[in-house]
Amino acid sequence: MNDRYREPGQASGQTSLADIAAEAGVSVSTVSRIANGDLGRASAATVAKVQRLIAERGYRPNPIGRSLRGGDSRLVAMLAPNLDNPAMAAIAASTEAALRAAGYVMILCDTHDRPDLQDEYLRAMRSRFAEGFIVVSAVASPELEASLDRREPIVFVNRRNPYGGGPFIGIDNRQAGADAADHLLACGVRAPAVIHPTELSSTIRERVEGFLDRLEERRPGLTVRRYDGPGDNHLDCGYAASRRMAADGGWPDGVLCPSDLMAYGLFRAAGEQGVRIPDDCLPVGIDDNDLNDWIAPWLSSIKIPYRRFGDAIVTSLRDLRAGGSVGEVLLPHQLIRRRSGGETIEN
């Protein structure tokens, strides 16, 4: 192509089985077996010689050759919508670490929540011999359905399999909504409201339902104001919904924001209208973004242990590949109470 910059790892690069074999005066098969720990198939002398050469030349098996042969590729694809969302970044970071610890390499694909991109990535990764898929906030798409039909190992995170079944990692969203309701009532909120995106995912729906059901249970007959907002991301949704809410009947004394980003949208709208948060209006979020402790001391939020998702995901993926039947893993959430001053009180 050009002589200034070489392809990395190309022919002249890495030492291959053949190089070692030639130098040791044995066949590639023998070297391969020794490299893979099958030491009983060669004499002690041969094993020693080959092992020495492997160490000396820094031989590392080429994953490409391996995958082609049909062995494992040690590649796992993670499909996530929009990395800009700090929650996604947290999941990605913890999954990456867990996979690396298990000897895998993660390919991260940003699907922008679009079914067509999700499909494109599923195809691309399949033909790259990805050994498994982690789909965060999956959307229904033809290729996803096809993958499920082929019984490919797929772990769903955050949002359940739109076609039902399959392993799932997340929290008990209904319970989280109920906990949020309890929190608002405990803080003396009389007329709570709820905002949510116009387009409801199953995750958000469950949180809102859990919230409403718990309120109905504890305050029968109480009407809960409910506003939705349009937008690509939860920041915009939260902002738009809050403005609708303010225009419709003024600010309530408490609001469930089913994601922290929506709470940030509410915060902005409140600031613009001179409404003091949390004194005039007490929001409760779900996610508990790491930054809350630093710059959003006004936001109590239900912490989702995204840092722990990685391990759970890798465990599920392994069980799946081992043929075990894998169900849902619901990790524990926890309300983090914050007061405006910035002190955090964990219960």
Site for DNA in 63-102 (CB under 7 A): 64-66, 68-71
Q: Binding partner of residue 150 among DNA, its own copies, none, CB under 5 to 8 Å per kind?
A: its own copies
Applying CB under 8 A, the span of 173-181, 188-196, 201-209, 262-270 interacting with its own copies comes to: 262-270
* Length of the chain as a residue count: 347
Q: Which of 31, 181, 184, 320 forms a contact with its own copies (CB under 8 A)? A: 320
Contact stretch for its own copies (CB under 8 A) within 25-33, 173-181, 183-191, 264-272? 264-272
CB of 105 to DNA, least distance (A): 16
Residue 149 sits in the site that holds its own copies (CB under 8 A): no
Q: Would you say 36 or 340 has its CB closer to DNA?
A: 36
Interaction partner, residue 23 (DNA, its own copies, none; CB < 5-8 Å by kind) = none
Q: Is 152 an interacting residue with respect to its own copies (CB under 8 A)?
A: yes
Q: How many angstroms separate the CA atoms of 58 and 73, rounded?
A: 20
Instruction: Choose from its own copies, DNA, none: what does 224 bind? Cβ within 5-8 Å by kind.
Output: none
Residues 266-295 that bind its own copies (CB under 8 A): 267-268, 271-272, 290-291, 293-295
Per CB under 8 A, does 2 bind its own copies? yes
The yes or no reply on residue 37 touching DNA (CB under 7 A) is no
Residue 28 binds: one of DNA, its own copies, none (C-beta under 5 to 8 A by kind): DNA
Radius of gyration of the chain (CA): 26
Q: Measured from the CB of residue 73, what is the shortest distance to DNA in angstroms? A: 11
Under the rule (CB under 7 A), what is the footprint of DNA? 11, 14, 16-18, 25-30, 32-33, 35-36, 40-46, 59-62, 64-66, 68-71
